[in-house]
């Protein structure tokens, strides 16, 4: 699937799933703008892309802050031109009993996981409308599909991503812009390894008896970003090894 001539933004592209998506889109020919709060991590992803012969730039900033988003988008347009692909991947998780969740924790997780993707879309959709072509891929979570103990605020934020995807897809369907989401399920990432999840127990309970890799999400994202996926919109493409079968 060729993405030659396309310009992609990947938020949270400095590590884990975001890095894998950035590498895959670049490998398929897109010029990639890697956005991350951690400038060093973003630069590392860019170096990997450039070393492989691709085109990329790093933009450091907060993908839930309107000013940072505008600055990163302007830098991307200056380097590569109008943005045609947006992957809203930046996010945070939290494992906290519901009654111990503070107002500050709720505000932070909602700001990053749902407000951020909304603001990024508002900034970038005008480019897509002008060109009559665009791909928006939101990374949600299988926890939003099943529920998860000690993750009420996280699951709620990611459930919002799924609902946002459907609503925006309807609004933009006649404009040549597709909007889909991928809810990863049990993917071996640095974030997962830092969590209290019992990986061996999860592997034993998984239909495939293994964790997925970031590249599994990246491949799905690349497909949804492609020309071949032009009649797919408003969909939830589960990449979870059979953990969730809606």
Q: Would you say 91 and 138 are in contact if contact means Cβ atoms under 8 Å apart?
A: no
How many other C-beta atoms lie within 10 A of the C-beta of residue 67? 9
Residue 184 three-state SS: strand
Catalytic residue among 154, 164, 186, 223: 154
C-beta separation of 116 from 90 below 8 A: yes
Answer yes or no: are the C-beta atoms of 26 and 14 closer than 8 Å. Answer: no
Sign, CA dihedral 40-41-43-44, equals: positive
Distance between CA 220 and CA 211 in Å, rounded? 16
The answer to whether 231 is a known catalytic residue is: no
Please answer whether residues 214 and 170 qualify as being in contact, where contact means their C-beta atoms are separated by less than 8 angstroms: no
Q: Could you give phi then psi for residue 208, rounded to 5 degrees?
A: -90, -5
The residues carrying an active-site annotation are 154
């Amino acid at each position: 699937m060729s993405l030659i001539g396309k310009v992609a933004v990947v938020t949270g592209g400095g590590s884990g799933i975001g890095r894998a998506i950035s590498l895959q889109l670049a490998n398929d020919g897109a010029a990639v703008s890697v956005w991350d709060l951690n400038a060093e991590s973003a630069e590392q992803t860019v170096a990997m892309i450039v070393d492989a012969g691709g085109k990329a730039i790093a933009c450091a900033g907060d993908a839930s802050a309107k000013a940072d988003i505008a600055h990163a988008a302007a830098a991307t347009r200056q380097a590569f031109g109008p943005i045609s692909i947006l992957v809203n991947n930046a996010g945070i998780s939290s494992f906290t009993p519901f009654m111990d969740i503070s107002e500050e924790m709720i505000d932070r997780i909602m700001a990053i996981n749902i407000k951020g993707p909304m603001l990024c879309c508002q900034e970038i959709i005008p480019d897509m409308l002008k060109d009559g072509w665009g791909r928006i891929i939101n990374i949600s979570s299988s926890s939003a599909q099943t529920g998860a103990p000690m993750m009420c605020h996280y699951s709620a934020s990611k459930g919002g991503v799924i609902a946002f995807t459907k609503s925006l897809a309807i609004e933009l369907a006649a404009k040549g812009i597709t909007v889909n989401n991928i809810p990863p399920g049990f993917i071996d990432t640095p974030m997962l390894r830092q969590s209290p999840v019992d990986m061996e127990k999860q592997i034993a309970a998984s239909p495939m008896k293994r964790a997925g890799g970031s590249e599994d999400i990246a491949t799905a994202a690349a497909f949804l970003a492609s020309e071949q996926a032009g009649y797919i919109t408003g969909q939830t493409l589960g990449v979870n090894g059979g953990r969730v079968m809606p």
